[in-house]
């Protein structure tokens, strides 16, 4: 259970570093997004808690029959694919922009995918332990970056004003993306049966969400304060740009490479969990006993997908526009989970006890 919490926190923290919109009120969006995200998490993890011993592939087949269940699960698997591929791509783009300007992107992507598939091959337990090890590094990185940002942020606090000058509309729109990125929590549907106390999964997930929202608020505050609202929403990786401004002494300047690498640890956890969940879910859909033979082929698909689905960074950014990414990612969560909840509810109303079949 412990490891799961850490893993989810790490995963939840990832998007923080990429998304900061809604101008000076971005931090309000962050708070607002918490409620939407909490609802989605409850939706994802709640059903899992009803079937503590089953993965989504198994209980989906129980709830709506064999083939429809499998079909719904394909959507989830698609979501895992999109998440892992996008994460990898974002990281690769950040690396190329940040320091390795002449390295081909596919190269970085495939390296990341290789590490992720090795981890996925080793199993969930190993990923969890690796997350245990990396979690402190990751948190320390964020805390240190934020702490170093404080002196700058306080002097430039005026960037945060005026509060809610443009009404609540942009704030709500700004909160869409941080909300839907919660799709990362879909991995809970596969992990819950492996956790020590599946019943507590929902609580843990919500705590993780709380922690990540706090960090999200702090980061958006710092980013907006330091970079200013307009630049903050325009630069590609706001958090990294903020870290770049850190200048404590002659010795501590231009440390964003370390922030980048620490972020890579987080990406690694996210990618390997997604790959594990994806291949395991696919194995269950196909009726295989072992998911490991699938990892090789899937890794190739993942890498290729990551390379080819976005031509460049701007296309990637378009995905994270509220108008495009919102409905798309949201449907990845809402459609399968909605169908399953509906089936669960109908069965419940019909008098059966669906979780005890």
Contacting residues toward other proteins, per CB under 8 A: 2-3, 6, 95, 99-100, 103, 108, 111-112, 115, 118-119, 122-123, 126-134, 250-251, 253-255, 257, 261, 264-265, 268
Complex with other proteins: residue 258 or 341, whichever CB lies closer: 258
The one-character DSSP state at 199 is: G
Complex with other proteins: residue 187 or 217, whichever CB lies closer: 187
Q: To the nearest whole angstrom, how small is the minimum distance from the Cβ of residue 112 to other proteins?
A: 8
State the Cα–Cα distance between residues 185 and 334, nearest whole angstrom. Answer: 13
Complex with other proteins: residue 92 or 340, whichever CB lies closer: 92
Residue carrying structure tokens 């989906």: 60
Q: To the nearest whole angstrom, how small is the minimum distance from the Cβ of residue 309 to other proteins?
A: 22
- The distance from CA 338 to its chain's CA centroid, rounded to whole angstroms, is 20
Q: To the nearest whole angstrom, how small is the minimum distance from the Cβ of residue 139 to other proteins?
A: 13
Region at 246 (left for phi over 0; alpha for psi -120 to 50; beta for the rest): beta
- CB distance 292 to 94 below 8 Å: no
Q: Which of 183, 263, 173 is nearest to 215 (CA)?
A: 263
Q: To the nearest whole angstrom, how small is the minimum distance from the Cβ of residue 111 to other proteins?
A: 5
Complex with other proteins: residue 62 or 244, whichever CB lies closer: 244
Q: To the nearest whole angstrom, how small is the minimum distance from the Cβ of residue 251 to other proteins?
A: 5
What are the residues whose beta carbons fall under 8 Å from the beta carbon of 306, sequence distance 6 or more? 84, 85, 86, 88, 89, 92, 109, 113
CA-angle at 329, arms to 324 and 331, nearest 5°: 105
Q: To the nearest whole angstrom, how small is the minimum distance from the Cβ of residue 258 to other proteins?
A: 8
Complex with other proteins: residue 129 or 173, whichever CB lies closer: 129
Concatenated DSSP letters for 121-170?
A: HH-HHHHHHHHHHHHHHHHHHHHHHHHHHHHHHHHTGGGGPSTTTT-SHH
Residue carrying structure tokens 């509309």: 169
Complex with other proteins: residue 179 or 204, whichever CB lies closer: 204
Share in percent of the chain as helix, strand, coil (round to 5)? 80, 0, 15
Q: To the nearest whole angstrom, how small is the minimum distance from the Cβ of residue 2 to other proteins?
A: 6
Distances (CA, A) of 235 to 5, 31, 140, 146, 231: 31, 22, 24, 18, 6
Q: To the nearest whole angstrom, how small is the minimum distance from the Cβ of residue 100 to other proteins?
A: 6
Complex with other proteins: residue 6 or 89, whichever CB lies closer: 6
Complex with other proteins: residue 87 or 355, whichever CB lies closer: 87
């Amino acid at each position: 259970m412990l490891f799961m919490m850490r893993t989810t926190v790490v995963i939840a923290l990832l998007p923080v570093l990429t998304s900061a919109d809604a101008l000076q009120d971005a931090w309000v969006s962050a708070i607002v997004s918490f409620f939407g995200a909490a609802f989605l998490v409850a939706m994802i993890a709640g059903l899992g808690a009803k079937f503590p011993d089953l993965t989504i592939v198994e209980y989906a087949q129980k709830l709506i029959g064999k083939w429809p269940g499998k079909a719904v699960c394909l959507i989830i698997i698609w979501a895992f694919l999109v998440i892992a591929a996008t994460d990898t791509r974002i990281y690769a783009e950040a690396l190329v922009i940040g320091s390795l300007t002449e390295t081909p992107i596919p190269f970085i992507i495939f390296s990341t995918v290789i590490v992720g598939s090795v981890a996925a091959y080793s199993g969930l337990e190993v990923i969890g332990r690796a997350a245990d090890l990396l979690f402190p590094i990751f948190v320390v990185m964020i805390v240190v970056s934020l702490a170093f940002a404080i002196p700058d942020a306080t002097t430039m606090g005026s960037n945060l004003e005026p509060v809610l000058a443009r009404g609540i509309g942009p704030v709500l729109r700004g909160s869409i993306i941080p909300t839907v990125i919660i799709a990362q929590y879909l991995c809970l549907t596969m992990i819950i049966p492996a956790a020590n106390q599946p019943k507590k999964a929902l609580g843990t997930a919500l705590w993780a969400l709380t922690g990540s929202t706090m960090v999200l608020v702090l980061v958006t505050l710092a980013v907006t304060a330091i970079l200013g609202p307009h630049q903050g929403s325009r630069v590609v990786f706001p958090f990294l740009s903020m870290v770049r401004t850190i200048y404590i002494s002659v010795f501590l300047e231009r440390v964003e490479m370390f922030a980048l690498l620490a972020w890579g640890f987080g990406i690694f956890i996210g990618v390997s969990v997604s790959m594990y969940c994806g291949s395991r879910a696919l194995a269950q859909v196909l009726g295989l006993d072992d998911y490991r033979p699938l990892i090789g082929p899937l890794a190739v698909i993942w890498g290729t997908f990551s390379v080819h689905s976005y031509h460049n960074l701007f296309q990637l950014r378009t995905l994270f526009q509220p108008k495009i990414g919102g409905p798309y990612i949201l449907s990845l969560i809402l459609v399968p989970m909605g169908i399953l909840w509906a089936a669960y509810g109908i069965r419940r109303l019909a008098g059966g006890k669906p979780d005890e079949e």
